[in-house]
Amino acid sequence: NSEDVRCKCICPPYKDHSGNIYNKNVSQKDCDCLHVVEPMPVPGPDVEAYCLRCECKYEERSSVTIKVNHVILL
């Protein structure tokens, strides 16, 4: 299921840009700042420095398991 996987990038403040969290459904190999952060908040020369500060993690979950647990709890 496409909504059961995502890449989450947490980017701290950089120069005059505030920090932000970005989520996108991409494959595990594309889970990096360049593929997830859109629109890029910094101009071209600063992209590499900005992306080095971001922490990106690939996350998987089972929405079926979550739904079953909710039904059991109710």
**Residue range 31-70, pLDDT digits in tens:** 999 999 999 999 999 999 999 999 999 998 877 888 888 8
For the chain, give the number of residues. 74
Count: domains in the chain: 1
Chain center to CA of 32: 8
CA R_g for the chain:
16
Q: pTM of the entire structure?
A: 0.75
**pLDDT above 80 (res 2):** no
- Range of the structural domain that residue 61 is part of: 5-72
